[in-house]
Amino acid sequence: MAQIVECVPNFSEGRKKEVVEDIASAVREVDGVRILDVEMDASHNRAVLTFIGEPAVVQEAAFRSVAKAVELIDLNLHEGEHPRIGAADVIPFIPISNISMEECVRLAHELGERIWKELEVPVYFYAEAALKPERRLLPKIRKGEFEALKKEMGVRPERAPEVGEPRIHPTAGATVVGARGPLIAYNVNLRTDDLDLAKRIAKGIRASSGGFPEIQAKGFRLEDRGLVQVSMNLLNFRVTAIPRVFEAIREEAEAAGIPIESSEVVGLIPLDALLDCAEHYLQLQEFSRGQILERRLWE
Amino acid sequence: MAQIVECVPNFSEGRKKEVVEDIASAVREVDGVRILDVEMDASHNRAVLTFIGEPAVVQEAAFRSVAKAVELIDLNLHEGEHPRIGAADVIPFIPISNISMEECVRLAHELGERIWKELEVPVYFYAEAALKPERRLLPKIRKGEFEALKKEMGVRPERAPEVGEPRIHPTAGATVVGARGPLIAYNVNLRTDDLDLAKRIAKGIRASSGGFPEIQAKGFRLEDRGLVQVSMNLLNFRVTAIPRVFEAIREEAEAAGIPIESSEVVGLIPLDALLDCAEHYLQLQEFSRGQILERRLWE
């Protein structure tokens, strides 16, 4: 089966439609790449593209989108609510199907080299592609944004990029390239109006309170439906799978005498995350994705 | 998303490789059709092709395969263990994705008309495409095989075909066209060597003993693993889904103090059958197949 990788680059332009359209066109002209989504936010003054395909073409499309952004966006003229250091601000690669995180890290590192070599934009690596632990998260890298980085990159060693000389691009700033797991927005609804229960369960499962790794969770009230919800982001379903959080929530809710009413996926979800559920609950043994009848049409 | 239909035609030639290869080539030359499997059985003297694609191209490929078989196979020279009445013996269409059984019945009926019109082979309709209840099953239609049908078709009204004059093709006989659900071979293994338990559970769930519709089931011993198995054919997973039989088996096994060891899918399975499992166990609400991230690459 084909390898599928996703790329979700963020650009510092959320107001001029023609600029974002030009960037999207640069992606579209690469054969085999499919754009899933183009989002523009005027107050953030930021656009987010989502596209998928095989690794080589997605990497090529990512480069072309960065090149186009470097050509069209001048950060000196940019203002918006969202922190940013570059015209092409953040470029994550995400493994979707038949591809490892290691391969996505390699795609990120290669892209970073090319961005410096051909566009003279210095590059930082973040998330799974980070080469320094303090650069796994974006806020550290983006501290003070373009305006501070312009002054500090050349003089403060801790702000030196991973690729390229410590010389910020005069209009396009710097770019952060990385690899991360696919984010799944997943909610479990409980047949009660006891908000404390939802909050307690959320606290018990989220990584920040010592729960499951790669899980963010909050408790909410669904006023109109008279229910409460454990609302989650699964940051990497290969580390913590859906059945694990679903069963943990069910157990704690049932211990309080409350049944699960339903669950819901918000937005997109990789096929593998759903197949994992089927395999888990059916205790499937020796099942291969190659047994899926439609697979030949995807190759 | 694309509509996907499967076609699994059976031909009366299982010994001459070049004949079967010619029939497969006729299928392959239709753009957009993918052959999943070509099986030949010498003692049955029969070949089975499996291919998938969008409805129009699969129907076209089915016609071409029949035309090629009519051209190359002479039933007067055919002998083998498997009952048959035609060079192209049985042609079922199977709904896989985004297509109803009704549409597959229509594909079958149209193909039948064309086979008579262009090839002068009379056609019977079976399974979901049957126009007469006594022709839902094949044995009635194939009674006495080619040799008896040759004598009886023109003189016994109950043997008249649905399409065409009651005049058997001198070398290619007659063809049975139909529509049926996708067959899933699915087994559940129990952590015990109590064969009686597996047999009792199988009897409880199979349609023929008053269990779930569209389920065939038998109990087996897995000698080498010291387990017993409930071995099933799911003839239509949209009528009886995998979780329904899995949970029924689990309940009855647990009542006897026996846990499920694992389950296994033998051969191919439609994606929808697995997604149904994820939806069932997660109590997924308002989930649409369009939320699957990879879907754009399949369109």
Cβ–Cβ of B294/A246 closer than 8 Å?
no
Neighboring chain B residues of A34 at a CB cutoff of 8 Å: 296-297
Q: Which of A282, A289, A295 to mutate to test the interface with B (most CBs of B within 10 A)?
A: A282
Domain with CATH 3.30.70.670 in chain A: 184-291
Cβ–Cβ of B263/A284 closer than 8 Å?
yes
Tell how strand B34-41 and strand B46-53 pair up: antiparallel
Supply angle C-alpha B255, B260, B265, rounded to 5. 135
Q: What is the pLDDT of residue B1?
A: 65
Return all residues near B291 (Cβ < 8 A) that are at least 6 apart. Answer: A265, A267, A268, A269
Q: Which residues of A touch B (CB under 8 A)?
A: 2, 4, 6, 34, 36, 52-53, 96-97, 182, 189, 242-243, 246, 260-265, 267-271, 274-275, 277-278, 281-287, 291-294, 296-298
Mean predicted lDDT score pLDDT of chain A: 95
Query: Which residues make beta-bridge pairs with A37?
Result: A50
Q: Which of A33, A293, A295, A299 to mutate to test the interface with B (most CBs of B within 10 A)?
A: A293
Cβ–Cβ of A292/B286 closer than 8 Å?
no
Starting at the earlier edge strand, list the strands of the sheet with A260-266.
A215-222, A227-234, A184-190, A260-266
Neighboring chain A residues of B281 at a CB cutoff of 8 Å: 243, 246, 277, 281
Q: Is the pLDDT of residue A290 over 90?
A: no
Q: What is the pLDDT of residue B96?
A: 92
- Looking at 3.40.50.670, 3.40.47.10, 3.30.70.670, 3.40.50.280, the CATH number of the domain B184-291 comes to 3.30.70.670
Domain with CATH 3.30.990.10 in chain B: 4-179
Neighboring chain A residues of B245 at a CB cutoff of 8 Å: none
Cβ–Cβ of A267/B291 closer than 8 Å?
yes
Q: Record the tokens describing residue B139, joined without a space.
A: 């044995």
Residues of A annotated as catalytic (active site), given as ranges: 82
Average pLDDT over residues A269-297: 91
Average pLDDT over residues A84-111: 96
Average pLDDT over residues A257-282: 95
Domain made up of A4-179: CATH architecture: 2-Layer Sandwich (3.30)
pLDDT digits (tens, 9 = 90+) for A138-156: 989 999 999 999 999 999 9
Chain B closest-CA separation from residue A287 CA (Å): 7
Q: In chain B, what is the greatest distance between 2 CA atoms, to the nearest angstrom?
A: 62
For the question of residue B82 being annotated catalytic, the response is yes
Cβ–Cβ of A284/B264 closer than 8 Å?
yes
Size of interface A-B (CB pairs under 8 A): 127
Q: Which chain B residue has its CA at the smallest distance from A281's CA?
A: B281
Q: What is the pLDDT of residue B294?
A: 84
Q: Which chain B residue has its CA at the smallest distance from A247's CA?
A: B282
Name residue B43's amino acid: S
Q: Is the pLDDT of residue A60 over 90?
A: yes
Cβ–Cβ of A268/B291 closer than 8 Å?
yes
Name residue B137's amino acid: L
**According to the 3-state scheme, what is the secondary structure of A50-117?**
EEEECHHHHHHHHHHHHHHHHHHCCHHHCCCCCCCCECEEEEEEEEEECCCHHHHHHHHHHHHHHHHH
Q: Is the pLDDT of residue A299 over 90?
A: no
Chain B closest-CA separation from residue A1 CA (Å): 12
Average pLDDT over residues A221-234: 93
Supply angle C-alpha A65, A70, A76, rounded to 5. 140
* ipTM of the complex as predicted: 0.83
Q: Which residues of B touch A (CB under 8 A)?
A: 2, 4, 6, 34, 36, 52-53, 96-97, 182, 189, 242-243, 246, 260-265, 267-271, 274-275, 277-278, 281-287, 291-294, 296-298
Q: Which chain A residue has its CA at the smallest distance from B182's CA?
A: A293
| pLDDT by 10-residue block (mean), chain B, 299 residues | 92 96 98 93 93 97 98 95 95 94 98 98 97 92 95 94 96 97 95 97 96 95 92 94 98 98 94 96 92 79
Query: Which residues make beta-bridge pairs with A123?
Result: A163, A175
Question: Is the pTM of the predicted complex or chain greater than 0.90?
Answer: no
Query: Buried b / exposed e across A51-75, counting CB within 10 Å, b at 16+?
Result: bbbbbebbbbbbbbbbbbbbebbeb
Q: What is the pLDDT of residue A1?
A: 65
Neighboring chain A residues of B297 at a CB cutoff of 8 Å: 2, 4, 34, 52-53, 298
Side-chain half-sphere of B145: how many Cα atoms within 13 Å? Answer: 12
Cβ–Cβ of A263/B283 closer than 8 Å?
yes
